[in-house]
Chains A and B, each alone.
Chain A
Amino acid sequence: DQQVKQNSPSLSVQEGRISILNCDYTNSMFDYFLWYKKYPAEGPTFLISISSIKDKNEDGRFTVFLNKSAKHLSLHIVPSQPGDSAVYFCAASAGAQKLVFGQGTRLTINP
């Protein structure tokens, strides 16, 4: 009953290219979506978010896209840098503080 799914456990991208991380959800009550980034031996840190009333939110090199009809969101990182190598978690909430996370995708940026 995984409500938030990240189907790619890992992704490898060349430095300077675009990284695209994907996330699918099943609960139509989710109205806020977030991406967290996690380095080894550290806790997750908030990266970027999007409300369900929008379909795109951009912050520097990071852009999150939301497709409500497909119940799908994606995180684009361009250009990718070595420091972007981390585990990325997609998360969703339904009008409250409670977050539902996906399994995570390990992104490796190759020089």
Chain B
Amino acid sequence: DAGVIQSPRHEVTEMGQEVTLRCKPISGHNSLFWYRQTMMRGLELLIYFNNNVPIDDSGMPEDRFSAKMPNASFSTLKIQPSEPRDSAVYFCASQVSPGGPDEQFFGPGTRLTVL
């Protein structure tokens, strides 16, 4: 299996621009998670989906952030407009649901830099 696929791996953009991060979960996994990693706060859960439905978006920092999962094999995290403080590594993870918390598989991440 190819694992969780994220694109792009690196994104550099200017403040005010729209940024779209993409994720393809492992085939057969029906739960998908978006995390953000920063030095200060470590890994933070932004939002997660079960069967393409958003279950908990309490970690989404602001209305500038939005996430969609139009089908079982694709999800996007969009930031519009982007700001320098959004610079971080964004991870996508997937697992089979129901399942234990130790069954999440992470993608390689997208490193976002907002200038």
B13 at the interface (CB under 8 A from A): no
Within 8 Å by CB of B45, from A6, A44, A98, A104, lies A98
Q: How far is the CB of B38 from chain A (nearest CB, A)?
A: 9
Please encode chain A, from 53 to 95, with 1 for each CB lying within 8 Å of some chain B CB and 0 for all others.
Answer: 0000000000000000000000000000000000001010100
Inter-chain contacts of A89 with B (CB < 8 A) = 42-43
Please encode chain A, from 13 to 24, with 1 for each CB lying within 8 Å of some chain B CB and 0 for all others.
Answer: 000000000000
Within 8 Å by CB of A44, from B31, B39, B43, B95, lies B43
What is the size, in residues, of chain B's interface with A at 8 Å between Cβ atoms? 28
Query: In the complex, A49→B102 CA distance in Å?
Result: 7
**In this complex, what residue of A is CB-closest to B3?**
A43
Q: How far is the CB of B89 from chain A (nearest CB, A)?
A: 9
B15-44 with Cβ < 8 A to chain A? 31, 33, 35, 39-44
A101-B101 contact in complex given A43-B93, A43-B107, A44-B106, C-beta closer than 8 Å: no
**In this complex, what residue of B is CB-closest to A103?**
B42
Contact check, A43 vs B42: say whether CB atoms are below 8 A apart: no
Inter-chain contacts of B95 with A (CB < 8 A) = 97
B108 at the interface (CB under 8 A from A): yes
Interface size class of A (residues with CB under 8 A): 20 to 34
A41 at the interface (CB under 8 A from B): yes
Contact check, B108 vs A43: say whether CB atoms are below 8 A apart: yes
Q: How far is the CB of A98 from chain B (nearest CB, A)?
A: 6
Instruction: Return 27 A-B CB contacts under 8 Å, by A number.
Output: A32-B100, A34-B101, A34-B102, A41-B108, A43-B91, A43-B105, A43-B109, A44-B43, A44-B91, A49-B101, A91-B43, A91-B101, A93-B101, A97-B33, A97-B95, A97-B97, A98-B45, A99-B45, A100-B45, A101-B35, A101-B44, A101-B45, A102-B42, A103-B39, A103-B40, A103-B42, A104-B42
Chain A interface residues toward B at CB < 8 A: 2, 6, 32, 34, 41-46, 49, 89, 91, 93, 96-104
Chain B interface residues toward A at CB < 8 A: 4, 31, 33, 35, 39-45, 48, 56, 91, 93, 95, 97, 99-109
Given A32-B101, A42-B109, A91-B43, 9 extra CB contacts under 8 A: A34-B101, A41-B108, A43-B4, A43-B105, A44-B106, A89-B43, A97-B95, A97-B97, A101-B42
